[in-house]
Amino acid sequence: MTDRYASYVAVRGMQVFDDKKKELMYEHILPHALRLACDKHGYIALNEVITDLDHPVYRNQLLGIVALNALLLSYGAYGNYVVQHVLTLYDLRCTCNIAFSLVGHFVELSFNKCRSYIVEKLLETEESMVLVVEEILECGGDRLMRLARSEFGSFVVVKALRVTQEMNRVDLFRGLVQKLMPFRHLLRRPRGNTTTAAIIESVCYTTRKQGDNDGRIRQNVVGISIF
């Protein structure tokens, strides 16, 4: 399974073997799962096995290995692809376990192209999203500004703003906006509403408009009472 060509044979075997032979294969794979995940050919084979794995016991064990070692794998050249793949399965338990394994590293991971994809996937599930956003909110101003202006971190920040809105987590959304507000003039880019600055400024515009409407309402009420 770590050979470029032989791995195809192993993966094909996992697809056509009967249940008993598959179980024997799983017993061989589990002790070497971490090694496979870190290998340039092995990680591809492991992802294929994970995709087709329908045995609940072995599935949970294999996903558990990935989640437990998520930090090591996320920083690996090949292991990060395994973490990304597992997150696309949307297994809530596994996603949360991966998130807990990565607590304290979300911001750092976001500066790297492949690793930032992991953080973006974690933002798609509310339970793990909360952990990611809370860590972003704990960032110092300078680091947050660097994150929001970085090539890959900017996508994480934009996604964090969007999902907190979509999931109706007003507390987290407002927290992000307030934290980023002082840097909005440094975040402007000619990319329309996809930029962090555009989202923040749209919130400012909405707030000002709402304030103007409230003011007009108060004036009308006063006018009516005087009349």
pLDDT (average), residues 122-130: 97
Burial class (CB within 10 angstroms; exposed 0-12, middle 13-18, buried 19+) of 157: buried
pLDDT (average), residues 86-114: 97
Taking CA atoms, 100 is separated from 24, 43, 49, 104, 106, in Å, by 31, 22, 24, 9, 10
Distance CA(143)–CA(145), nearest Å, equals: 5
pLDDT of amino acid 192: 37
Distance CA(69)–CA(119), nearest Å, equals: 16
pTM: 0.85
What is the maximal distance between C-alpha atoms in the chain?
Answer: 89
One of 1.10.3720.10, 1.10.260.40, 1.25.10.10, 3.40.50.620 is the CATH number of 104-227, namely: 1.25.10.10
Cβ(65)–Cβ(33) below 8 Å: yes
- The pLDDT tens digits of the residues spanning 24-73 come to 999 999 999 999 999 999 999 999 999 999 899 999 999 999 999 999 99
Distance CA(109)–CA(105), nearest Å, equals: 6
Comparing C-alpha atoms, which of 167, 157, 159 is closest to residue 127?
167
Task: Write b or e for each residue in 11-35: b if 16 or more Cβ atoms lie within 10 A of its Cβ, otherwise e.
Answer: beebeeeeeeebeebbeebeeebbe
pLDDT (average), residues 130-153: 92
pLDDT of amino acid 206: 58
pLDDT of amino acid 68: 97
pLDDT of amino acid 188: 67
Comparing C-alpha atoms, which of 145, 124, 134 is closest to residue 196?
145
pLDDT of amino acid 85: 98
- Confidence class of residue 182 from pLDDT cuts 50, 70 and 90? confident
Helix residue ranges per DSSP H, 53-195: 56-68, 70-74, 79-87, 92-102, 106-109, 113-122, 126-137, 141-149, 153-166, 170-180
Distance CA(128)–CA(23), nearest Å, equals: 32
Say if residue 224's pLDDT is above 80. no
pLDDT of amino acid 217: 41
pLDDT (average), residues 195-205: 71
Say if residue 190's pLDDT is above 80. no
